[in-house]
Structure 1
Amino acid sequence: MKTLNILSGGAAQGLVRSLAPAFKAETGLGIAGDFGAVGAMADRLRAGVPTDVVILTSALIATLADEGLAVRSSIADLGRVETALAVRAGDPAAQAEDAASLRTALLAADAIFVPDTEASTAGIHVAKVLAQLGITDVVADRLKIFPNGATAMRHLAESRDRRPIGCTQSTEIISTPGVKLSGTLPPGCGLATMYTAAVATQASAAPQAQRLIGLLTSTDASELRSQAGFVSGPMS
């Protein structure tokens, strides 16, 4: 065995990649697997895809533990991730201090890059916010929907639209070259999601899986978590 298999929400991709060299130096294992919409990743685990570590929302990890697919005693929180706005690196920041200014910013965009609005945490929330702001139908033809936030942000970075904007989890924005974080969603429209790791019940390398979780959640990695966009502390 040369790799540890992981299924993870896209929110954790940057953090996992930043710790991969240290993990390989200690265990000799690389990290392989998929990062994407949390619902899709959970379904892949349920379908029997070989998996050692799962990193998803805390609610979904709890459900997988109830289903016998995640080891309950291994569960550990990485931190909260906020849903945020993104613009191309050279564009002016989008201002959204309140719901009204968020509505204005979204209506001013000629393309809105978002993750899966049915299977991803941020995408589902974006759909709710658009409905809350009463602009779902108005912006429907401007939505550029991708399987996950990281892919959406890569396409935003390459966009040739006049005034594009993106909305996904802050970690996916921070880890994508060519885009920049333009602030979290304003009060009343925001979402902070706790991400949690666990060893898969059918893990073929459970000790190494537990070690990766230890590295991801360690005090030594607190600065890396912060840089990646994770916020520590209890849910508000």
Structure 2
Amino acid sequence: MPSLNIFSGGAAQGLVGGLAAKFRESTGLEISGEFGAVGAMADKLRSGTPADILILTSALIATLTREGLVAGGSITDVGRVETALAVRDADPPVSAPDAASLRQAFLQADAIFVPDTKASTAGIHVAKVLQQLGIADEVANRLKIYPNGATAMRHMASSDALRPIGCTQATEIIATKGIRLSGVLPKGCDLATTYTAAITTNATHAREAQVLIDLLTANDHAPLRVQAGFLEPEK
């Protein structure tokens, strides 16, 4: 069966998966492609790897539009995703209402599971927060860095660490079995990232890509977006 090829940040994987059946019913196409660090997804597109649709940060979509790789008229915000903390299902929750308690939470963990600290939105932010809290060097050997947040969370779920903690996009935490959301990062350390969908200029299935964008952003699917961890876009 032919498929719509997607390059997306891992933050949108759960939401796209939840709409895949409706998309198939509407278009006859499956959804294939990759979900990962947004920087890596953008580089794949730049290298000439074909894709029909992108779901990346709004800032990166704007850059790719200026580079002539995105059809400007197709750009549509899907929603905002907060960077958050994760614990395993069997572990006690971690509360971090302020920077001091967040610092303590990281220091008490014997393993800190995070996405790529150079190419992923959440990973870059985590690295910045650790520097901000003055503990980057102290916890460096406890960082468990994976290509994207979904992979980091899966490894955390099966970890034999005694006191692991995860930090990535809330949507990736919610979508992973064996772990649970333990609160978003506190004010001053927080990050809410707007994710935006767009059709590539060389899309083979541009019409079907627009169908998926319409499904992702439909008013009727607002509860699904909330369930997946998305907040409404800023007006």
Q: How does the TM-score come out when normalised to structure 1?
A: 0.98
Matched, 1:6 2:24: no
1:59 paired residue number: 59
Show the 5 A alignment for 1:136-175.
136-175=136-175
* Structure 2 unmatched runs, 5+: none
Show the 5 A alignment for 1:123-142.
123-142=123-142
Deviation at 1:157, TM superposition (A): 0.2
Deviation at 1:220, TM superposition (A): 1.1
Q: Which amino acid is 1:113 matched to?
A: F
Q: Which amino acid is 2:230 matched to?
A: F
Equivalent residues of 2:78, 2:233 under 8 A apart: no
Q: Number of residues paired by the alignment?
A: 235
1:54-99 CA distances to partner (integer Å, 9 max, x unpaired)? 0000000011111110110000000000000000011100110000
Query: d(CA) in 2 for partners of 1:29 and 1:185?
Result: 38
2:45 paired residue number: 45
Equivalent residues of 2:8, 2:41 under 8 A apart: yes
Query: d(CA) in 1 for partners of 2:109 and 2:90?
Result: 15
Change over 3 Å in CA distance of 1:233–1:42 after alignment to 2: closer
1:220 paired residue number: 220
Query: d(CA) in 2 for partners of 1:233 and 1:37?
Result: 21
* Structure 1 unmatched runs, 5+: none
2:186 paired residue number: 186
Query: d(CA) in 2 for partners of 1:180 and 1:190?
Result: 18
Q: Please state whether the residue corresponding to 2:95 is helix, strand or coil.
A: coil
Give the share of equivalent positions with the same residue, in percent: 68
**Aligned residues: CA RMSD:** 0.8
Q: Please state whether the residue corresponding to 1:128 is helix, strand or coil.
A: helix
Q: Which amino acid is 1:34 matched to?
A: E
1:208 paired residue number: 208
Q: Which amino acid is 2:31 matched to?
A: I
Deviation at 1:35, TM superposition (A): 0.1
Query: d(CA) in 2 for partners of 1:74 and 1:186?
Result: 34
Q: Which amino acid is 2:24 matched to?
A: K
Query: d(CA) in 2 for partners of 1:220 and 1:69?
Result: 30
1:33 paired residue number: 33
Equivalent residues of 2:77, 2:233 under 8 A apart: no
Deviation at 1:106, TM superposition (A): 0.4
Deviation at 1:233, TM superposition (A): 3.9
Q: How does the TM-score come out when normalised to structure 2?
A: 0.99
Deviation at 1:2, TM superposition (A): 1.0
2:198 paired residue number: 198
Query: d(CA) in 2 for partners of 1:201 and 1:221?
Result: 27
Equivalent residues of 2:86, 2:181 under 8 A apart: yes
Query: d(CA) in 2 for partners of 1:81 and 1:32?
Result: 23
Query: d(CA) in 1 for partners of 2:225 and 2:53?
Result: 18
1:134-167 CA distances to partner (integer Å, 9 max, x unpaired)? 0000000000000000000000000100000000
Query: d(CA) in 2 for partners of 1:130 and 1:219?
Result: 38
Query: d(CA) in 2 for partners of 1:196 and 1:222?
Result: 15
Matched, 1:15 2:15: yes
Query: d(CA) in 1 for partners of 2:220 and 2:64?
Result: 28
